[in-house]
Amino acid sequence: MGAFASRISLPKRMRHHLLPALFPALLAGCTLGPDFHAPDVVAPTHWPEQPRDLAGTTYGGPVDIQWWKQFHDPVLDGLIERLAKQNLELQRGFQRILEARSQTRIAAAQGLPNLDWAGSYSRVHQSETGFISLVEPRPGAPNEYDFYQNTLGASWDLDLFGQIRRATEAQRAGQDAAIEARHGVALSTIATMVQSYMQLRGVQDQIAIAERHLALARHDVALAEARIANGAASSLDLAQARTERANTAAALPPLRNSESALINAIGLLLAEPPRSLSETLRRHPGVLPVVVPRAPIGIPSQLARRRPDIREAEARLHAATAGIGVAIAAFYPDITLTGQMGTQTLSAASFFSLPSRQFATGPTLSVPLFQGGRLRGTLALRRAEQRDAALAFHQTVLRAWNEVDDALTAYTQSQRRLVETETALKESRVAASVARERYRQGAVDFLQVDIAEAQALAAEAAASSNRIQIATAFVALYRALGGGWESAEFNRENTANTDD
């Protein structure tokens, strides 16, 4: 016959105290451990006041979930669309969500009834000198026979004290954490893509500036050579002109190297091989990004609900809190209802006959009497993990406030610098033009031209760099605000490579 579930025989005194306490729980069930409540977040009442005399200002409107479109760059928009479909980190994040869902399903299944069926057949030959020789055989009983068995078994852990329910709750919170982690990956990859693209446009603008100045330097060399031929200039002027030409040309290789590296970095975000985007991004170099005139940044109280890292930290705190309930429930008894029914026979003809049937049913009670301190140690561990998760949550919130404050300051100060760099650029161009004209007239030597053109090159490079700094500060601001991951293309789950 099938094996019967073993039962624990409790002392009479223990039965009198324990069993009456178990019956109410058996009827209603209970869930031990603390219930999770989202921690309170004390948010600033307002963001730092922003000056109104800048090219780009901020206001408290809803955060734009497609903030990169404020640059009005169709090439960038196309890259972001491809990013949502092709980025490998986003795909890995979705797989981790599937893993967490499976873990939740496994945990929840522990609280449901289990039903199994087994059937077997064997041809048996009993040894005449084995254990059978110790028992007087029934007259006419054969030593060799067929044995058929059919068993349907069921079991159900009643989960009286909520150990399985708390474990399932913890897994669901872990699933929420995986979802928020993927949102965080989306936020990070969007910001990295936009930042890399802006830096690429900045480098390409620096290349264009250097090439323009190289053309001027070549013209200056030709002018110096002509003046020497006419006896109006010395060989020193020619040497200085050639030096300026060589120095300007020497600035181009590092810039082109940076351009290639940034194109490859963008390609890597799209899971493309090296140089695959070179033709596209070099054929359409675009222009420097504009300063966004008005940027909506929401209100401080919305930040904790929008930033994925804060939401992930809250989910991990929830999971750790549920883990305490799992550890507490392990101290209490566990009852599992079990049952078996089926048939046993020596003849296939009587396989489904009533005399061949068998069954067994009853509860199994498991009581943790002595575990050597394991249960207390586990509970202490889970409580420490919960406190650590609470501290991590508050640290994440505090870091978020600091990142937004720093990003707002950087955005403001980079625009302050723009006013001065644009003024310096305008004046340096005038000075270079005047110096070049006066040299052509023979009023000054080439050193004055060299100095003026070097200043103009530096001013133009500084103005270009500052515009990129404003753009990257804008990117950092929206990254700190947690904007972008809500966009539909980054929440469309691609299940093409997953199994049902």
Q: Which domains does the chain have, with CATH numbers?
A: 41-112+154-332+378-490 (1.20.1600.10)
Q: Answer positive or negative: Cα dihedral of 374, 377, 381, 382.
A: positive
pLDDT for 230:
83
Name the amino acid, one letter, at 291.
V
Q: DSSP 3-state assignment of 155?
A: strand
φ, ψ of residue 335 to 5 degrees: the values are -115, 130
CA torsion angle 475 478 480 483 (round to 10): -130
**Which residue bears the tokens 């005194």?**
13
Closest to 70 in 3D by CA, of 352, 357, 353, 483: 483
Contact 171, 302 (CB under 8 A): no
pLDDT of residue 284: 67
Note the residue count of the chain: 500
Sign of the C-alpha dihedral computed for residues 309, 314, 320 and 323 taken in this order: negative
CA pair distance 408, 298, nearest whole angstrom: 13
Strands (E), 346-403: 357-366
How confident is the chain (500 residues) per 10-residue block, as mean pLDDT? 38 48 53 91 76 74 88 92 93 93 93 91 81 70 82 91 94 95 94 95 92 88 86 83 91 94 96 92 74 81 88 96 95 92 82 82 90 93 96 94 91 87 90 87 83 87 90 92 82 49
**Can you give the pLDDT at residue 452?**
87
**pLDDT of the residue at 314:** 96
User: How far from the centroid of its chain's Cα atoms is residue 283's Cα?
Assistant: 33
Question: What's the confidence (pLDDT) of residue 8?
Answer: 39
Among residues 96, 27, 61, 4, which one has the least CA distance to residue 295?
61
Count Cβ atoms below 10 Å from residue 423 Cβ, excluding itself: 12
Which residues contact residue 237 at a Cβ distance below 8 angstroms, ignoring those fewer than 6 apart?
224, 227, 228, 445, 446
Name the token pair of 331.
């101290």
- 111 burial via Cβ count (<10 Å: 0-12, 13-18, 19+): middle
Specify the pTM. Answer: 0.82
Q: What is the pLDDT of residue 373?
A: 92
Please give the Cα distance from 319 to 170 (Å, whole number). Answer: 4
Token code pair at residue 66: 């497609």
